[in-house]
Copies of this chain bind each other. A is one copy, B any other.
Amino acid sequence: MNGAEALAQGLRSAGLDTVFANPGTSEMHLVGALAAVPGMRLVPGLFEGVLSGAADGHARLTGRPAGLLLHLGPGLANATANLHNASRAGSPVVSIVGEHRSSLLPFDPPLASDIEAIARPYAGWIRRLERPEEAAEAARAAVAAALGTPARHAVLIVPADVAWGEAGLPDTGGGPLAPRVDPVPDARIELMADMLRTGGHAAALLLGGTLLDGRGSLLAGRIAAATGCRVLSETFPTAQRRGAGLPYLERLPYFPAEVLQTLDGVRSLVLAGAREPVAFFGYPGRPDRLVPEGCGVDRLCGPGEDGHAALEALAGLLGAGSADPVLLPEQRPLRPEGRLTVDAVGQAIGSLLPENAIVVDEAITSGAPCYRFTVQAPAHDWLSLTGGSLGFGLPAALGAAVAAPGRKVLALVGDGSALYTNQALWSLARTGADVVVVVFANRAYRILQLEYANMGLGSPAPAAQDLMRLDTPDLDFVSLARGFGILAARADEAGEFTRILERALAEPGPFLIETVV
């Protein structure tokens, strides 16, 4: 077998079964080999940022890495912005990056680049293959590295001559690799128990990362029931299980003043998988750290640690193991009629969201009502933009749909954010992904219009305004979606939007709704 075949079999044996791929000439042997491995799914994308966002979405739902097949340094560079988001989400990802054959590199051909340097900002593990014989072992090592503590992006650079060279008959067995976590030291758990026991209503548990799954939230709800502490969630959850049958978690807002208002009165903040609240951006004369003065901040657990076991132990120490958490009953908002506002879109979604749906939220300024109106919808998962790098929503919806067949995916995207990786629409069509896309077409980078004022800059000059407006000409998302082969419709009125959404949710396959809000 050749190096590419050994690599492909090594990846598969380690449990990697999905590769989002955009190969070039230097990856042709890898394509041939990956296509030949039983149980390996190849998903094509027309731009590499689509692939990396999809891998992030896939990882958030499965806890396992998907692979990326990328063409040399520029292919990896195109994937980078969504690798930033994946890195902030703690998602495991394995990138297979082709490289020129070794003998060609000294001639510095046009597509040569320093792949390691391009990988470094967002890779926790990088290995360049030297010989085909090591390909199978290296593939397993890459998956193991991605599943390490903490989970990370692992990059395997594969020169073409390693891919086509003879690898012998390497051992490609060994069984799938599982995610790893380190235990949280008992002393730390005991300290946090003291904090929450003495803090009462002035203590708060801030959940984040993997602890926002149902299990973590229920444990936190028990602790709250036993101690009276508040339970909060981080602003941009990686994947939050929420809705009816789960405890209510107060979400930290985005703007600094609102975060401080939310945390007012908290004297002791315990971080469980979340980071200390800080400003997303700095503003002249306003604070960076968003914790009330005099409030203590302590960490129960962070990335790569077994937060679930720690929360369970914490609940035990607090006598909360059998406490009854307050669980939200199912309650849906009424179907909206009349003017189509972001609130109306939120109500419509809240009134219709299917059981066990997956919501991917990159709606930026338009997303808050959707989150609010689904708080008591049937239980679902909510994925958000962890790293702030735009272009996450559509790709992550693709990855979620590939990861969770049979579940409906709802992608909420701003018109600005959707454009960064709009090519994902074609991959949705190609794979028949069960995704309903709702585009909030406010014809602007609305967040920038708000932030320009927040910076104290007053009203922007026309040349500055031009950089924040998406009109002149208006984008037509229905036309764009059809260009990519997706059914689409536009809604201008709330009742109309609700009817279109209802139909889209009832039909399998992708559908895009442009809402002019």
Residues of A within 8 A of B (CB): 21-26, 28-29, 31-32, 34-36, 42, 44, 46-47, 49, 73-75, 77-78, 80-81, 84, 88, 100-101, 103-104, 107-111, 113-114, 117-118, 120-121, 160-161, 164, 236, 275-276, 278-282, 284, 288-289, 386-391, 416, 419-420, 422-423, 426, 429-430, 447-448, 451-452, 455, 457, 460-464, 466-467, 470, 472-485
A160 in contact with B281 given A32-B464, A460-B32, A475-B483 (CB within 8 Å):
yes
B residues less than 8 Å from A42 (CB atoms): 463-464, 466-467
B residues less than 8 Å from A477 (CB atoms): 483
Chain B nearest CB: distance from A386 CB in Å? 7
Q: Are A279 and B109 in contact (CB under 8 A)?
A: yes
Q: Are A448 and B23 in contact (CB under 8 A)?
A: yes
Chain B nearest CB: distance from A33 CB in Å? 9
Q: For the complex, what is the distance from the CA of A88 to the CA of B72, rounded to whole Å?
A: 15
Q: Are A110 and B467 in contact (CB under 8 A)?
A: no
Residue of B nearest to A423 (CB): B419
Q: For the complex, what is the distance from the CA of A49 to the CA of B80, rounded to whole Å?
A: 12
Residue of B nearest to A466 (CB): B44
B residues less than 8 Å from A479 (CB atoms): 479-480, 482-483
Chain B nearest CB: distance from A127 CB in Å? 18
A111 in contact with B280 given A80-B77, A118-B80 (CB within 8 Å):
yes
Q: Are B121 and A73 in contact (CB under 8 A)?
A: yes
A47 in contact with B420 given A77-B77, A81-B77, A110-B280 (CB within 8 Å):
yes
Q: Are A29 and B455 in contact (CB under 8 A)?
A: yes
Q: Are B426 and A44 in contact (CB under 8 A)?
A: no
B residues less than 8 Å from A74 (CB atoms): 80-81, 84, 387-390
Q: Of B389, B429, B475, which contacts A484 at CB under 8 A?
A: B475
Chain B nearest CB: distance from A487 CB in Å? 10
Q: Of B25, B78, B160, B426, which contacts A420 at CB under 8 A?
A: B78
Q: For the complex, what is the distance from the CA of A47 to the CA of B236, rounded to whole Å?
A: 23
Starting from the known contacts A111-B280, A478-B483, 9 additional A-B residue pairs (CB-CB under 8 Å) come to A25-B447, A35-B461, A42-B463, A46-B420, A74-B390, A77-B121, A479-B480, A481-B483, A482-B483
A282 in contact with B101 given A32-B457, A78-B49, A111-B388 (CB within 8 Å):
yes
A282 in contact with B104 given A44-B466, A81-B74, A416-B46 (CB within 8 Å):
yes
A-B contact pairs, 17 of them (CB 8 A): A25-B280, A28-B451, A29-B457, A32-B452, A35-B460, A74-B390, A88-B110, A104-B282, A110-B280, A110-B386, A113-B121, A114-B121, A118-B121, A475-B484, A479-B480, A479-B482, A480-B484
Q: Are B23 and A467 in contact (CB under 8 A)?
A: yes
Q: For the complex, what is the distance from the CA of A88 to the CA of B80, rounded to whole Å?
A: 21
Q: For the complex, what is the distance from the CA of A36 to the CA of B463, rounded to whole Å?
A: 8
Q: Of B35, B84, B109, B422, which contacts A278 at CB under 8 A?
A: B109
Q: Of B31, B275, B282, which contacts A103 at CB under 8 A?
A: B282
Q: Are A476 and B467 in contact (CB under 8 A)?
A: no
B residues less than 8 Å from A419 (CB atoms): 46-47, 423, 426
Chain B nearest CB: distance from A435 CB in Å? 15
Residue of B nearest to A429 (CB): B473
Q: For the complex, what is the distance from the CA of A101 to the CA of B447, rounded to whole Å?
A: 19
A32 in contact with B416 given A78-B81, A121-B113 (CB within 8 Å):
no
B residues less than 8 Å from A464 (CB atoms): 31-32, 34-35, 42
Q: For the complex, what is the distance from the CA of A288 to the CA of B478, rounded to whole Å?
A: 47
Chain B nearest CB: distance from A63 CB in Å? 21
- Which residue among A25, A164, A475 has the maximum number of chain B CB atoms within 10 Å of its CB? A25
Q: Are A448 and B282 in contact (CB under 8 A)?
A: no
Chain B nearest CB: distance from A290 CB in Å? 9
Q: Are B47 and A104 in contact (CB under 8 A)?
A: no
A73 in contact with B77 given A164-B455, A388-B111 (CB within 8 Å):
no
